[in-house]
Structure 1
Amino acid sequence: MKQYKIAAIGGDGIGPEMVAEGVRALQAIAERAGSFKIEVDWLDWGAERFKCSGRFIPEDGMAKLAGYDAILFGSAGAADVPDHETLWGLRLAICQTLDQYANLRPTRLLAGIRSPLAEVTPEALDWLIIRENSEGEYAGHGGRSHRGSHHETATEVSLFTRHAIERIMRYAFECAQDRPRRQLTVVTKSNAQRHGMVLWDEIAQEVACSFPDVRWDRMLVDAMTVRMVRDPGSLDTIVASNLHADILSDLAAALAGSIGIGPTANIDPSGRHPSMFEPIHGSAFDLVGKGVANPIGMFWSSVLLLDHLGEHRSAQILLGAIERVTADPANHTPDLGGTARTQDVTRALLAALSGDRS
């Protein structure tokens, strides 16, 4: 029997609550399958560790992660620690060190969930957003000078390299090639960002020559927001830079009903390092301890984790169970307009998994 080692990192805010629910789902699907086991180690990496030791991740932490098959992550961000400290000290530290350069954010209209878009159908809103996850606007280059003076200056330098653009474009075309519509939209802003984004466009054109069976087009990011709202059925697979995809994927989740249902996979396609799976909703300080946060984003992220491990059948079973849960409005948490609590949704999911043995 296969055994997978999973590192569970709750982080902060509602992250620990969500990871706990995700672990319950993973262990339930493993028990149902009977062909693999899930072994979970809980790592207390987050703001409390930082406030005590000055580090979010222990000195040997990254080496320790190398021994896991995957990472289940909650959220980075605490109300009493600056956001840039938590993001760079925890989540980005993991993604960049482990070269998780492909960030996957699928979006679809789940059963029973209404979109704010009138008349939209599940067939029209079924996207895969691929985010370049290693450089671009989040490269961390820049600095500040003349602090406190009238001439105080801050620079934030976007970094685009041929290596990183080429590999994410190739990955995006391959993902599009594997989807039924074989269609890719490349998001850019090369009319205003005349260096990095022009390189982005040029490499997209080069890589496209290797994928003649994929239809592709190019869209300026501001126009892309309009297209997502006005013509969702014209989109399928989408690739964008770090910042652009970060923003567009939040819009996508909102159009699909709630940011609480959006999943994320931070993938190292080479397989040299473990990949990390998390919901996109963030820390949600206003929901901490109330027991009403939506666990669907974590459950869907667990689907992506199973798929990445090669447990495709179990991934499909879990996704089917998620849709049976969301189909019933009694299982909708407040972000979806309902009154269900987090554990109500989890109980419904576990019942769906145990009740359907097809």
Structure 2
Amino acid sequence: MKEIKINLKNPYSVIVTSTNSHLNFWFEQKKVGQLFIITDQNVDSIYADYFRSFEQKIIGKYIIKPGEDSKRIEIILDIYRALLKNNVDRRCTLIAFGGGVVGDIAGFVASTYKRGTNLVYIPTTIISQTDSSVGGKNGFNLDGIKNIIGTFYQPNLVYIDVNLIKTLDYRNFKNGMAEVIKYGLSLDENLFRFIEENKRAIKEREIDKLKYIVSECVKLKAGIVERDELDLGERHILNFGHTIGHSVETMFDFNILHGEAVAIGMVYESYIALKRKLISEDIFDRLIKILEYFELPTNINIDNYKRFKDIICKDKKNVDNNIKIVLPQGIGRAIITTDVKADTIVQNIQEYNRRLL
């Protein structure tokens, strides 16, 4: 078991382990009280007994449909009603037991229900274990715009059981690997090299390798969140692949998974960096090779570039109508810039896609 401390005004711990046997200790430490679980149909069908030893504490459960379509105000309101029906008060703890969608919904509900309730994340996917469960961001979608409504709300505890990754279908496993690769390419050369050198063991989900990559990603994100909790500057570096990636998700009505879209975004944003001579062809090729090894997409056909440009221009990260984008400067280094115009992004995507013909 590894404990990673997040040192904020309201500090908390991220526990990385491969069992649920430590949960009782941490629940006692945090005095969680009664529990209300928010999960999805997939997780509940596999792990309905995960909290068997805490059954007496559970006063309710809300099960959502998996997928981005659940991140809407109607679901949020229905959860509020379920909490009221079960007499959930501020001493209770909401358990977000699932992937990124469950975490986004549960985090927003916890931050707003009765002006704030206790929150524990138990992420079940590699994408939520390495990224979305740490840092306090939550939110839901509105009118096709991803995460346009949300809050910053830190949990009381994040409990990461990497064993939960072993039951993921491969599409969702590789979906999470896109975020892991993102951390390596933009923030940590050693992590990127570790992924390259241990790719087969990671793909086969060897527990020690999973523990390592999850722990390293959490530590990288923890350091950035401690310095920029409210996403006002440095934290934007975590959005490598996301400016174009979020637009791809929206363009294709969220039928593309988040990590798949981020993989595509990393390629196109790295191509822009390549054209600006920020990275070499060798680095660009290494990114393509590792994404392809995990069977992640590296490009996409866009049939309406005008609509795509309009979506990019509405990205919530933009400042004063300038597109905010992260470009790699090598392996383990990246910069945040606002001097790339939407037209330039579209032109580079078109140019790269023509290279593949």
Relative to the length of structure 1, the TM-score reads 0.27
Richer in strand (by share) = 1
Richer in helix (by share) = 2
Higher relative contact order (CA 8 A, sep 6+): 1
